[in-house]
Structure 1
Amino acid sequence: MPCRAARRLYKALGRRGAFLLILGVGKTCWGVSFLVDPPEDHGLDLLTDLCSLRHWSWLWIVCGLVTFGSAFLRIGRDRLGFFAAFIPPTVWALAYTVAVITGDYSRGGFVAIWYLTSHVGVIWWASTVPEYSVPPAPRPPRRGKAP
């Protein structure tokens, strides 16, 4: 029964929707972790000069919820979800890049590249993938009379 429900959900969401659903849950959980127990702010001085990481956690939470909600929209209308998923890692990458330039956090360059590749790059790529780009598997030839 659970497998049937999972297949039905996946069929309703499609590939893009499933991706947005996973991203939305992940970003929301990441934001809640900043809210519950904020980590050290190494390299995030650009952000923490404006407000605390507890406040910045709401960026992850809100964008995660928008991404999650967009998973249930039709293709073409799900663009808002991809854009919302794109915002938090871009902000974090920018903060780490500034920290490297100012000399506050030398490791920040690697973290910025990680955010830009494994988050922003993957989101951009997934937003361009059409829902049904893979042709269906060929059927085996029928046995019997030829038409």
Structure 2
Amino acid sequence: MPCRAVRRLRKTLGRRGAFLLILGTGKTCWGVSFLVAPPNDHGLQLLTNLCGLRHWSWLWIVCGIITLGSAFLRVGRDWFGFAAALIPPTVWAIAYTAAVLNGDYSRGGFVALWYLTSHVGVILWAATVPEYSVPRVPRPARRGKAA
């Protein structure tokens, strides 16, 4: 029975939906971690000047829930999940880049590049992955007897 449910879920989600489900879950958990035990704000002064990290955690949580919910939408309608998934890492990359330019956090350039490549880049790539799979290579025709 559980295997049937997993197969049904995989069929419902497809490749793009599975990616959005995993990404949305991760973003939501990352946001909750900022609520439970906020880290120090090294390199995030651009954000913390506006409000605390606990408030910024809601950006991750809301975007994560939108991304997670978009996993169950049809291809073509799931774009909203990919767009929502781009927002938090882009905001964090901008904050770390600003910290480098201000001289507040020299390591921020590497962190910004990490967000831009492993988050933004991967999300942009996954948004272009087609849902359908590549068709199988046809089997060669059988040799029959000439009539």
Q: TM-score range by the shorter chain?
A: over 0.9
TM-score, with length taken from structure 2: 0.92
Residue of structure 1 equivalent to 2:134: 135
Residue of structure 2 equivalent to 1:91: 91
Matching residue's letter, 2:22? I
What's the secondary structure of 1:105's corresponding residue?
Answer: coil
1:61-100 aligned at under 5 Å gives the runs 61-100=61-100
Matching residue's letter, 1:56? W
Residue of structure 1 equivalent to 2:57: 57
Give the % identical residues. 77
In structure 2, distance between residues paired with 1:136 and 1:143: 20
Gaps of 5+ in 1: none
What's the secondary structure of 1:67's corresponding residue?
Answer: helix
TM-score, with length taken from structure 1: 0.92
Q: Which runs of 4+ in 1 moved over 3 A?
A: 138-146
1:19-38 aligned at under 5 Å gives the runs 19-38=19-38
- Aligned-pair Cα RMSD in Å: 1.6
Greater Cα radius of gyration, structure 1 or 2: 2
What's the secondary structure of 2:120's corresponding residue?
Answer: helix
Gaps of 5+ in 2: none
In structure 1, distance between residues paired with 2:17 and 2:33: 24
For this pair of structures, how many residues does the alignment match? 145
